[in-house]
Amino acid sequence: MDVAWYLILSAFIFCIGATGVLVRRSPLVILISLELMLNGANLALAAFARMTNTHDGQVFALVVMIVAACEVVVGLGLIVAMYRSRLPMDVDEMSELRN
């Protein structure tokens, strides 16, 4: 397959993830949609590594995976803390920091 197909697919996955971040209201699903965006970027990095015959893209993709794992850990910790504090699980209603 041409490298361009992989790049188009990665752009499509990224856009689906962006839609999820914008449309959904549960913070949990927004985190999952963020994972989709990161994975779309990972696919593009792996495709470019294949295209240039170097490993740099793959190393970058691994670093992105680790950063995604950190983001998940902190994000899920925040969600559990929100649940414990009985805050509403809706990003539209979470405006405690305003004013």
Partner 1 sequence: MEIAVFWVAAVMAVGGALGVVLQRNPFYSVLALVMHLIALAVLFLLLHAEFLAAAQVIVYAGAVMVLYVFVVAYVGGLEDPLRDPHPAVRATAPLFALVLFVELAIAILGSSLKAIDTHGPGLSAGFGSPAEIGQLFLTTFLVPFEAVSFLLLVAAVGAVVLAGRDEGEEELVSQASPSRHKPGRPLADDRPVF
Nearest distance in Å: CB 6, partner 1:
7
The answer to whether residue 53 forms part of the interface with partner 1 (CB under 8 A) is yes
Q: How many alpha carbons fall within 13 Å on the CB side of residue 29?
A: 13
The answer to whether residue 97 forms part of the interface with partner 1 (CB under 8 A) is no
CB–CB of 17/37 below 8 Å? Answer: yes
CB–CB of 87/26 below 8 Å? Answer: no
Letters for 23-52 (x = contact with partner 1 by CB under 8 A, - = none) are: xxxx-xx--xx-xx--x--xx--xx-xxxx
The answer to whether residue 9 forms part of the interface with partner 1 (CB under 8 A) is yes
